């Protein structure tokens, strides 16, 4: 069995853990647990995942030694707020990476657009990614399941490129190893499990989403830069102005109108400027 353990804060908060050397999908395992009536507050973690799934039905490519983790929770919150848990996860993994990365590991923001002025070692990319040196380091995905009692269980999947990054992707990706960081998936998970406790408490069953988004914005690269959002083939271009209190990406178009984006693939900097 894989040598994972929860951090001290996660243990004190009552979280549970199921760890695997290899599994088809940690998210599928979490969804199955929800269907079986699990009350939530449990992490499913593996160092090898053979049938992972990412956002919008994409394949979640996984290399043995990377981290695949899914947290199952059953929040006491309006289901409409469930999507904002992606921002909670972003804040948590950002804090976890800050804890395990040496100072100065990450030099620039995403796609070459350093909206943070070099102040942060990791950058959060809307809606659910973490990037380093302009390349994807972490992916986050949410899956909701309605339980028999009417409540919604949320499976929050987090994949971290620890030892290697996929090479056959349509966007750049990196890993902790490529950044010169020698840390294990177990190290990252322990930091993540503790950081989640604080971020989730801040969320406060949705009542604290404003505070979560404030922290998320503070780590968001690309604010004030050119942005292009691909919405199923339709491209929206403009300036990335902010993330509003509902978690939507606000784009200021050339005619000064403001467009609220709820979903799409985002590109900044030189990629956003390309017209082809």
Whether residue 268 sits in one domain with residue 137: no
Whether residue 34 sits in one domain with residue 17: yes
pLDDT (tens digit per residue) in 236-273 = 899 999 999 889 999 998 888 999 998 888 887 545 54
Residue 22 belongs to domain with CATH number = 3.30.930.10
> Does the residue 2 lie in any domain?
no
Whether residue 105 sits in one domain with residue 66: yes
pLDDT (tens digit per residue) in 23-54 = 999 999 999 999 999 999 999 999 888 876 55
The residues with which 138 forms a beta bridge, in sequence order, are 130, 160
pLDDT (tens digit per residue) in 101-144 = 876 666 544 444 444 444 446 789 998 899 887 789 999 999 99
Tell me the residue range of the domain where 166 lies: 8-218
238 conformational bin, left if phi > 0, alpha if psi -120 to 50, beta if neither? left
Whether residue 264 sits in one domain with residue 210: no
pLDDT of residue 15: 98
Encode burial over 113-150: b for 16+ CB neighbours within 10 A, e otherwise.
bbbbeeebbbbbbbbbbbbbbbbbbbbbbbbebebeee
> Does the residue 39 lie in any domain?
yes
pLDDT of residue 58: 53
pLDDT of residue 53: 58
Taking each helix axis as running N to C, give the angle between helix 209-218 and helix 85-100, from 0 to 180 degrees, rounded to the nearest 10: 50
Whether residue 97 sits in one domain with residue 201: yes
- The mean pLDDT of 197-216, rounded to a whole number, is 95
Number of domains in the chain: 2
Whether residue 175 sits in one domain with residue 159: yes
Whether residue 43 sits in one domain with residue 123: yes
Whether residue 249 sits in one domain with residue 185: no
> Does the residue 187 lie in any domain?
yes
Whether residue 236 sits in one domain with residue 204: no
pLDDT of residue 69: 97
Whether residue 203 sits in one domain with residue 231: no
Place of tokens 């987090």: 158
Among the candidates 218, 248, 265, a domain finishes at 218
Encode burial over 194-232: b for 16+ CB neighbours within 10 A, e otherwise.
bbbbebbebbeebebbeebbebbeebbbbbebbbbbeee
Whether residue 143 sits in one domain with residue 240: no
Cα–Cα distance measured from residue 86 to residue 141, given in angstroms and rounded to the nearest whole number: 7
Q: pTM (2 decimals)? A: 0.87
- The mean pLDDT of 144-156, rounded to a whole number, is 90
pLDDT (tens digit per residue) in 212-222 = 999 999 888 78
How many percent of the chain have pLDDT more than 90?
54
Residues 158 and 152: beta-carbon distance below 8 Å: no
Whether residue 152 sits in one domain with residue 69: yes
């Amino acid at each position: 069995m894989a040598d994972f353990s929860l951090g001290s804060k996660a243990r004190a908060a009552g979280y549970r853990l199921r760890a695997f050397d290899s599994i088809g999908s940690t998210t599928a395992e979490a969804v199955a647990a929800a269907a079986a009536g699990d009350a939530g507050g449990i992490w499913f973690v593996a160092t090898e995942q053979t049938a992972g799934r990412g956002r919008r039905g994409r394949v979640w490519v996984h290399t043995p030694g990377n981290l695949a983790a899914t947290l199952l929770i059953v929040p006491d919150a309006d289901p409409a707020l469930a999507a904002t848990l992606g921002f909670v996860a972003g804040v948590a993994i950002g804090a976890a990476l800050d804890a395990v990365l040496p100072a100065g590991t990450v030099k620039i923001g995403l796609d070459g657009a350093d909206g943070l002025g070099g102040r942060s070692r990791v950058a959060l990319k809307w809606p659910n990614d973490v990037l380093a040196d302009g390349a994807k380091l972490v992916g986050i995905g949410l899956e909701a399941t309605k339980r028999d009692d009417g409540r919604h269980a949320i499976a929050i999947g987090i994949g971290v490129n620890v030892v290697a990054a996929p090479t056959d992707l349509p966007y750049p990706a990196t890993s902790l190893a490529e950044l010169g960081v020698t840390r294990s998936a177990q190290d990252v998970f322990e930091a993540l499990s503790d950081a989640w406790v604080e971020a989730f408490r801040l969320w406060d069953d949705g009542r604290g989403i404003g505070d979560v988004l404030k922290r998320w914005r503070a780590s968001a690269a690309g604010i004030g830069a050119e942005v292009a959002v691909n919405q199923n083939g339709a491209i929206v271009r403009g300036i990335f102005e902010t993330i509003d209190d509902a978690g939507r990406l606000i784009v200021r178009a050339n005619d000064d109108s403001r467009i609220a984006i709820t979903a799409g693939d985002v590109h900044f900097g030189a990629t956003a400027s390309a017209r082809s």
